[in-house]
Amino acid sequence: MDAHGGVVTPMEDDAMQSTSPKSTPGLTEVRCAEAPPAGGHYAQALLHGTALYVSGQLGVTQDMPEPATVSITEQVAFALGNIERLARVVGAGRNDVVKCTVFVTGIEHWGEANRAYAAFFGAHRPARSIVPCAVLHFGAKIEIEAVIAVGG
């Protein structure tokens, strides 16, 4: 475990579920105890080469598992904070984020989400897509996934 509560584990064939015929060489699962655990059959993040692929993060913290009670601004900050914690496990940070995909339950939330996103990244401007969707898990209004450059 690193200083950020994270673990980097190479994926072995026998660690894969029976639905996966084999593991991909060089694919490493990244877990962080400071970010909410994966709630289904997926990894918090996977490292492949110099890219960290972070699964969609809801706007929750370890102490607050349901985002429906907090604002869009807080949900964006929590989701991006979880992404940053996962990045730190492999020695990266917010300025290494290359691309984010932001899922939002209503385009009316876009302005508030954009302001919170800009406040988090400051002068850094990762590539980004915003995808309107009908519903997210646990009543969340925001979910964010990211690709992060590592070791560059």
- Tell me the C-alpha distance between 36 and 64, whole Å: 9
The DSSP element (H or E) to which 50 belongs, if any, is none
* pLDDT on residue 113: 96
Q: What is the pTM of this model?
A: 0.85
Among residues 102, 105, 100, the alpha carbon closest in space to that of 136 is found at 105
Residue-wise pLDDT for 87-124, tens only, equals 999 999 999 999 999 999 999 999 999 999 999 999 99
At the second CATH level, the architecture of 6-149 is: 2-Layer Sandwich (3.30)
Instruction: Domain ranges for the chain, please list them.
Output: 6-149
Residue-wise pLDDT for 1-22, tens only, equals 555 566 665 554 333 332 333 4
- Tell me the C-alpha distance between 63 and 30, whole Å: 21
What percent of the chain stands above pLDDT 90?
A: 68
Q: Does 26 or 33 have the greater pLDDT score?
A: 33
Mean pLDDT of 52-75: 89
